[in-house]
Amino acid sequence: MILQATILLAGLSVTAGQGGSLCCPIPQFHAFQHVTIVNSTSSMRSLQSFIYDGDNQRYVISGDLNYDYIGTTKVIYDYNKRTGYRINTETRVCTTFPLRGNFKEQENVCVPNGAVSSGPLYYGYGQGRLASLSYSPTTVGGRHQAVVATVTKEGCFPIISTTTTTGGQGGNTLKVLGYAYIYPGNPDVTVFDIPSYCTM
């Protein structure tokens, strides 16, 4: 219900067919991102804060709310600088790492051009149901992966995506990303500030 209200209030400025994407949501939003990764040797679950800034090609992930951990650690992905920053504000430790790929291919937020529609579907029931569309990209970086991304029909907001990888480290892997409590805009742009103790 919150997602539906947010979509109506956001003005629904969908970017279609630009920058190699069939559709993207509004350029700036924040949400909770639920992550589940399972392979033959391990499993991991987390509920993270996710802040997306498409205008500046960057996003930040922080915390794990499954364990009431708002946390002092965050990871900034800055595609303009092609650099990621893993920052712990409490210990004042920062490590950097190079970013690969294109910004709009990350976290399955945008649906890439050429993606094949799996058809419409609905979440919920009755008047409150949420109309959505499911897509499968035709190529995923040349790797042995199968991706299915589900977005809202109006606004192209991500709902859930699954990525199945065969033959990777740890054997076959399933990664599920779910998005909830999506709100337009970024409430605090200082989350993207790089502290002075970060060095390349």
Quick one: DSSP state of residue 195? P
Contact status, residue 104 vs residue 110, Cβ threshold 8 Å: yes
Distance CA 63, CA 73 (A): 7
- The pLDDT of residue 13 is 33
Phi-psi region of 82 (alpha: psi -120 to 50; beta: other; left: phi over 0): left
The pLDDT averaged over each successive group of 10 residues in the chain (200 residues) is 35 41 90 91 88 94 66 88 91 92 87 87 89 80 75 93 81 90 88 86
Distance CA 81, CA 138 (A): 28
Q: Which residue is it, tokens 């990777």?
A: 168
- The pLDDT of residue 50 is 93
Report the predicted TM-score, pTM, of the whole model to 2 decimal places.
0.80
Distance CA 74, CA 12 (A): 29
